[in-house]
Structure 1
C-alpha cells in the first residue's frame, strides 16, 4: 500500500508538468492558473512525502540509533552516596577504644581476668568448683559497687558537667544495693543473676542518663559489661552441665554396686 501511495504522490506532479508544459509555453493567459493548479495538486495528493518519518534516510537513521543504543544495565554506573558511607559502629567503637588512656584501658582489662578465669578453669578441668563460683559472684558485687560510686566522684567536683542532684547521686546507690542483696543468696545462681541485673543498671546509667562521659569510657563500659555478664552466665551454664554429669556418674556407680 505504501509503495503505491509513494508512486502516485511523487510521479503525478511530474506528469502534470510534462503534459502542461507545451500549454504553458503557448498559452500565456493560463500560465498562472496551470502552475498554481499543479502546486495545489502536489500539495494535496502527497502530503505524506514531506513527513519526516517516511523519509528513507530518516528511517535508516532511527534504526541505526536504536541499534547503537546501549542497554541500561550495561551503562557504567556512577558511585552513589550510599556506597561511601561512614565507618560502621564497630569500627568507630574500636577507634574510640584505642583513644582511651592507657592506664584506664589496661586496668579495666586486668579487672576482667577474675571473671574470665573462673569458667575457663572449670571448662578445662571439667569440674564445677562452688568456691570459685562464689568468689566470682562476690567479685562481681564489689565491681558493681565500684561502678555505682564512680558517679559520685564525677558529680561532686565544682566544674563537673554533672550536677550533684537527686538523680545522679541516688541512682549511683542502686547498683550497690543490688550487689549487697546478691551476697545474701546461698544459691550461686540467684546471686549471679542479681549481679548481672546490677551490671545492666549501672551500664544504663553511665551510657544513657549521663551523656557527658567521654566516648572511649562508654565503649570501655560496654565491653567490660559484656565480658562480665557472659562470664557469669558461662559459670551458671557449666554449673548446670557439670553437676548433671556428676549426678549421672554417681547414679551409675550406685547401680554397679
Structure 2
C-alpha cells in the first residue's frame, strides 16, 4: 500500500521505488551511499524525507562539530577594560572654588583651639566653650541645609515629614550640647550630631554631587577629631591638677 501511495502522489517509477527501498534500508544499517539511485528519490519524495536530526549524516556532522569545538571554559576570555578608579580626594578638584575655600576656612576655629592649647600646654575653658558654641552653630547650619535642598519645586527630595523632620534633629542636639555645664558631654553630643547629619547627606540623599559628599566627609572628620582633641586636653589637664594637688598634700604631711 505504501509504495502505491508514493507512486500516485510523487510520480516516481515503481521500479525505482522497489530498488531504492532496500537500498535505503541498507543505507540505514550498513551506512552505504547510493547517490545515483537516491538522487531522483530525493527530488520526488521531499515531504517524506528523514529529519536532519535522525539522519546518520547529520549525526556524524554533529559529532565532528562537537569534536572540533572547544568547550566554553577553554575559550580565551578577553580581559575587561579596567575602569578608571579615581581617588575620593581627587573629586575635590571638581568642587566650586567658593564652596571649597569657605568649607576649609570654616574648619579653622575647630582646629585652632586644640592646637593653641597643645602648643601652650594649658587648657583654656573659654576657648573650649567657644569651640563648642561654634560647633553647635555649624551643626544647626548643616541641619537647615536640608530644608533648602527639599523646598525647591524641581528638587529630587520632597518636602515631606522625613526630610524636613530629620533636618531638625541636628539643631536640637546642638541646643542640648550648649545646656551642659561641662564641656565633655557637650562635645560628645556635637560629635553625635555631626555623624547624624553626615548620614543624612551621604546615605539618605544620593542626589548630592560627588564632590559635596567628599567635602562633607572630610569636614565631619576634622570637626569630630578637633572636638575630641579638646576633650582629651581637658581630661589631661584635670589629671595634672589632681596630681599636683596630691603632691602638695603629701609635702605638707
> Do they fold alike, i.e. is TM over 0.5?
yes
Structure 2 matches for 1:1-257, cutoff 5 A? Answer: 86-87=84-85, 91-257=86-252
TM-score between both structures, scaled by the size of structure 1: 0.65
1:200: how far off? 0.4
1:135: how far off? 1.0
In structure 2, what is the equivalent of residue 76 of structure 1?
none
Q: Could you say what the CA RMSD is over the residues aligned between the two structures, in angstroms?
A: 1.8
SS of alignment partner, residue 157 of structure 1: coil
CA distance in 2, matches of 1:118, 1:83: 49
CA distance in 2, matches of 1:193, 1:173: 18
SS of alignment partner, residue 159 of structure 1: coil
Deviations 1:139-181 (A, max 9, x none): 1111000000000111111111211111111110111011011
In structure 2, what is the equivalent of residue 43 of structure 1?
none
CA distance in 1, matches of 2:165, 2:79: 47
CA distance in 2, matches of 1:83, 1:237: 49
CA distance in 2, matches of 1:112, 1:122: 17
SS of alignment partner, residue 183 of structure 1: helix
CA distance in 2, matches of 1:113, 1:230: 13
The count of residues paired between Structure 1 and Structure 2 equals 175
In structure 2, what is the equivalent of residue 26 of structure 1?
none
CA distance in 1, matches of 2:144, 2:187: 20
* Structure 1 residues 249 and 162: CA distance shift in structure 2, 3 A: same
Q: Out of 91-100 and 180-189, give the one that drifted further.
A: 91-100
CA distance in 2, matches of 1:94, 1:81: 29
1:81: how far off? 5.3
1:85: how far off? 6.2
Unaligned runs of 5+ in 1: 1-79
Unaligned runs of 5+ in 2: 1-77
> Rg larger in 1 or in 2?
1
CA distance in 2, matches of 1:125, 1:213: 41
CA distance in 1, matches of 2:153, 2:237: 53
TM-score between both structures, scaled by the size of structure 2: 0.66
* Structure 1 residues 84 and 212: CA distance shift in structure 2, 3 A: closer
